[in-house]
Amino acid sequence: WLSRKVSAPLSALTEEAFRIGAGRFDSDPKRNSTIREVNQLIQAAEDMKAGLRSFEKYAPRDVVRELVALGKEATLGGERREITVSFADMVSFTSLSEVLSPEDLVRLLEKVHTVLADAVSSTGGVIDKLIGDAAMALWGAPKADTDHAWNACIAALRARDRFQEMGADLTKTGLPALDCRI
């Protein structure tokens, strides 16, 4: 009885580790054990999956899964290859930041980052940096992409169109319409 009480949740955790290694990060908060240490392992696995799901918001899901599946730690170095890099920032962000409340500014930045991240990830790009109102994205790394320049242009057009669509909705909520340079 005691052996099953310990081994059953450990077997489930082993299966969960294999699922994570295969790129399946779905949450499963129902699992628990009467053994404190096993519960800590379950919670650590859930926290790890939450972190990986968060990472998927800024990098394409297949890139995240590929990095996890490789099982290698990132190291300095790299390889030479042609890639495409884009930079985007909001028009008049500094003046907006001087008149908006911190809460409204954060809401606005969340919308900007979401639009940019969606446009980038939907075209196979990766957000490299979010810096205030700016975003730097790249195509062709870490995953090779023979159409990296084309995909970056498509992402820019998608983001531009989405910012235009959002304009009326934002002004209704008291936020200014967004204009972004890419």
Q: Tell me, what's the pLDDT at 82?
A: 96
**Predicted local distance difference test score (pLDDT) of residue 41:** 84
Say if strands 84-90 and 180-181 run parallel, antiparallel, or are unpaired. Answer: antiparallel
- Residue 46's pLDDT is 86
Check if the beta carbon of residue 156 is closer than 8 Å to that of residue 149.
no
The phi and psi torsions of 72 (rounded to 5 degrees) equal -110, 150
pTM, two decimals, is: 0.67
What do you get for the CA distance between the two ends of the chain, in Å? 63
Tens digit of each residue's pLDDT, the chain (182 residues): 777 777 887 788 888 888 887 777 888 767 777 778 888 888 888 888 888 888 777 666 666 777 777 776 666 777 889 999 999 998 888 888 888 889 988 888 888 899 999 999 899 998 888 888 899 999 998 888 999 999 999 999 999 999 988 887 878 877 777 788 99
**What pLDDT, on the 0 to 100 scale, is given for residue 73?**
66
CA-based nearest residue to 137, from 179, 90, 181, 87: 87
4 sits in the region (left: phi over 0; alpha: psi -120 to 50; else beta) called alpha
- Exposure of 166 in the CB half-sphere (CA atoms within 13 A): 21
Please state the three-class secondary structure of 61-112 as a single string: HHHHHHHHHHCCCCCCCCCCCCCEEEEEEECCHHHHHHHCCHHHHHHHHHHH
Q: What is the Cα–Cα distance from 62 to 122, expressed in whole angstroms?
A: 11
Whether 92 and 180 have beta carbons less than 8 Å apart is answered as no
